[in-house]
Each structure stands twice: as C-alpha cells, then as structure tokens.
Amino acid sequence: MKRNPAEHAPPADAGARRAVGPVICYPVETLPAPDLAAYRAAREAWRKTGEVLVPARDAASFTVPAGHFFRITSVEGPQVGDLNLWNANNLAERFYSGKTRALHGTHLSTGDRMWTSHPHLRPMATITDDTLDWYGFDGFGGAVHDVIGTRCDPYTHNLLSHGGQYHHCCHSNLTRALADARGLPLAEAEGYVHDVLNVFMCTGFTRSTGQYFMKASPVRPGDYLEFFAEIDLLGALSACPGGDCSSEHSSDAAACYPMLVEIFAPKAPPAGWAPPPLNGYDQSHGR
C-alpha cells in the first residue's frame, strides 16, 4: 500500500505529472477475435454430454473436448467458484490469469478469452454467455468474474491467523481434485494448481488504498457463465468455502452451496472455427 502520509515531498510539477492521461497497455483489437455469432449459432442443436455437481466446500474435475461448450451454473444458493483450466494433453499449459487480466481487464465477460501460460500463450476458452453481464461495475468499483484474486489458500490463512490449519481452501480443494483426476501425488498436483478465474465472485480494489475487496456476490440460482473450449480442456472447479464471499473465507462459517458444471457437444463446430495453434514466437530470445 502507498504510505499515507508519504515520506517524500511532491516535486513542483507533481500535478502535471499526475495529469498525464493513461494509455491502454494492450489494445486487443489486433488479437485474433472470436466469431461470437458463429459460436452461438453452434449451440442451437447442441447435446448435453455430461455434468458434474461440485460439492460445497470441495472441488471436482471435468473434461471438455475442443469444440465443445461448458457451463457453470449457480444452484441452490449464491456461491462463488474458483476455476482452474489445463490443456488436457499437457498440464504444463494452463490458464494464465495475469496475462488474461492484462489483455481483457480485471473482470471477464462474454467475448473475453482465457489465455494459456508461456510459451504457449493461446486462447484455451472463450466466454460465450454471462447472465450477470448486467451487473457491470458497481459504485464501489466491484464487478463479477475477476482475474485479480488468486484463490484462497491455507498458507496465507496460516500467516493471517497465526498458525491456523484449514484444509478446504480453494487451493487445497483444487489440489485434491487434480490429484484424483490424474492419479498424482498431492505434492505434484499442487504444483499445477494456478491462479483462478473467480466465477461469480464480486471483487475490486478500494479507491483509497488499492486493497483487494470482496462483497456478497449478486449471483442467484439459475445464473451461469458459459465457455467454448478452444483446446481439449481439463478443468477443476472449487465451490469456495467463502460461499458468496460476503464476509470471510478459509473457514466453515459461511453458507456454502454446490455448483453445477455441464458439458455440451454441438452438432457441428462453429462455422470457420479451428483450434488455435501454439504461439508463433520462435523462443530464440535473441540468441
């Protein structure tokens, strides 16, 4: 956080320096754009091929073949979900929260894509529908589906609580789900767990201190976030122990509900769609 008051006096031209206008770091207009109309047309004759009910305060895994869709739906009560995605054929290629944030902003919605880690850096999923898109940004600067948080984890909890041991943080839930999905030892699975897309979570940064905040999610049963799988995906979703994240997480105090993941196969892939190739950078790094 910024020191208040600051330790150093502002220079004479502080006002002018602060008044310089911002420039968007990554104008996304030149990125390969998804053809949303074609994606949506492909849903018309889709067929549901599977579903997973993620238990409250726990996680579950699922797979989605390239060219299929999946939907995460709120059931029973307001609940936040922490989503990890991997290339189903290579766990080293996984969701890159930081670059996705830099490209699309702090909170995702329809038309945004989830990008994979270096050196792959390609779209792994495209958001095709978001029933909470009406929420926008509220008066606190809060919005849903963030890529600014990481995932609640037992290590941070241990520090903040002076030694607490809590085993159902999203980090641990995702670790167990991946270990079970791939028959990996917990320690190996943990290394593949990464920063999440916070599905339905309502978050922002305070204007005064820039601190990460959360507030009760506006999600209600029936709301969903829908994705198109650009590559073969292995997913894991944790129903956060924070429930709707209105007060705290890393405990069993909050009301928690299950979440539904459904997989859909279109009759035919979206017109003109092809799985995205690996990133075109030659990886020579100037040598």
From candidates 60, 85, 147, 170, binder to Zn ion by CB under 5 A: 170
The window from 47-55, 62-70, 233-241, 257-265 that contacts Zn ion (CB under 5 A) reads: 233-241
Per-residue mark of binding to Zn ion, 107-146 (x: CB under 5 A): ----------------------------------------
Nearer to Zn ion, 68 or 157 (CB): 157
Q: Please, which of residues 234-263 interact with Zn ion by CB under 5 A?
A: 240
Tell me if 199 contacts Zn ion by CB under 5 A.
no
Q: How far apart are CA 204 and CA 145, in angstroms?
A: 10
Nearer to Zn ion, 233 or 254 (CB): 254
Nearer to Zn ion, 243 or 276 (CB): 243
Nearer to Zn ion, 64 or 152 (CB): 152
The window from 5-13, 30-38, 170-178, 182-190 that contacts Zn ion (CB under 5 A) reads: 170-178
The window from 95-103, 117-125, 147-155, 179-187 that contacts Zn ion (CB under 5 A) reads: 147-155
The window from 83-91, 151-159, 216-224, 261-269 that contacts Zn ion (CB under 5 A) reads: 151-159
From candidates 114, 152, 233, 263, binder to Zn ion by CB under 5 A: 152
Instruction: Output the DSSP codes for the chain.
Output: ---SS-SSPPPTTHHHHHTSPP--SS-GGGSPPP-HHHHHHHTTT-EEEEEEEEPBTSEEEEEE-TT-EEEEEE-SS---EEEEEEETTEEEEEB-HHHHHHHH-SB--TT-EEEBPTTT--EEEEEEEETTGGG---TTS-EEEESS-----HHHHHHHTTS---S-SHHHHHHHHHHHHHT--HHHHHHH----EEEEEEEEE-TTT--EEEE-----TT-EEEEEESS-EEEEEEE-TTTTTSS--SSS-S----EEEEEEE-SSPPTT--PPPPP-----TT-
Question: How near is the Cβ of 198 to Zn ion at its closest, in Å?
Answer: 8
Question: How near is the Cβ of 196 to Zn ion at its closest, in Å?
Answer: 8
Nearer to Zn ion, 170 or 261 (CB): 170
Nearer to Zn ion, 56 or 229 (CB): 56
Q: Judge contact between 240 and 170, C-beta under 8 A.
A: yes
Question: How near is the Cβ of 242 to Zn ion at its closest, in Å?
Answer: 5
Q: How far apart are CA 248 and CA 241, in angstroms?
A: 9
The window from 6-14, 49-57, 108-116, 148-156 that contacts Zn ion (CB under 5 A) reads: 148-156
The CB density around residue 5, as the number of other CB atoms within 10 Å, is 7
Instruction: Report the interface residues with Zn ion, using CB under 5 A.
Output: 152, 170, 240
